[in-house]
Every structure is written in structure tokens, then in C-alpha cells.
Amino acid sequence: MPRFLRLTPAAAEPETERPAPDKVISGDPVHTTWNVEEKDGLYCGIWQSTPGKWRIAYDDWEYCRILEGHSVITDANGAEHALGPGDSFILRPGFSGTWEVLETTRKDYVILL
């Protein structure tokens, strides 16, 4: 097992899915995930979504950095967070709201269960 991994789509097989229909607010977002690392409750990789808006609720801790595109995350209190290339953020357990992809968005992520 290599001790050094590049975080690129070439490092993992892509998985494609959509949010559950009851969570979708608008559009038809399609998510592609390249999960490069999965070990001991740690997940790390690249995620991409096409435009749309859906409800989100986090039970785990996640760090993200936007690589491409534009999105808006709105928390349960209505505060909007516009995100674009270079923006980094953390979503803590208990966060809920919506994620709206305005322009196909790609991020890298680290999730800790």
C-alpha cells in the first residue's frame, strides 16, 4: 500500500448518484464521487455535482475545498454562504440546510465519522 496518494480522479473509480428524491428542491443534480481513501472512519476524495438544490443534514465532520464552480450553502437559520474556487470550510455534525449548485461544482473533501 503506497504511503503517498495524489488526490485526483485517476486515483479511484467514480461513483455516480443523485440525492434522494424527497431531498431535491430544484433541478436534477447528479453527484460523482472519487473516494480515494476509506479507512478507520476517514474518507477522503473528490466530489462533483451538476446544478440543482437539495436539503442536507450532516451527522459527521467534513472539511471541503472548492476546486471549480459555484455553490451556495444555506444553513437552517437562512444564512447563505456563497462558495467558489479556493474557498475552504468545515461542516460540523448537526449542520442542516440546503446546498445549491449554481455552476457544476467540484470539491475535495475529508470526512471523519
The structural domains of the chain, ordered by start, are 29-112 (2.60.120.10)
On the question of pLDDT at 70 being above 80, the answer is: yes
Task: Quote the pLDDT of residue 98.
Answer: 98
Residue-level pLDDT at 109: 98
> Residue 1: is its pLDDT beyond 80?
no
CA dihedral 29, 90, 112, 23 (to 10 degrees): -30
Strands 80-83 and 24-27: unpaired
Quote the pLDDT of residue 22.
Answer: 98
pLDDT, mean of residues 96-106: 98
The pTM of the whole model exceeds 0.85: yes
Q: With 0-12 CB in 10 A as exposed, 13-18 as middle and 19+ as buried, what is 100? A: buried
Q: Report the distance separating Cα 93 and Cα 61, nearest Å.
A: 5
**Closest CA relative to residue 64, chosen from 79, 78, 51, 81:** 81
Residue 2: its pLDDT value, please?
83
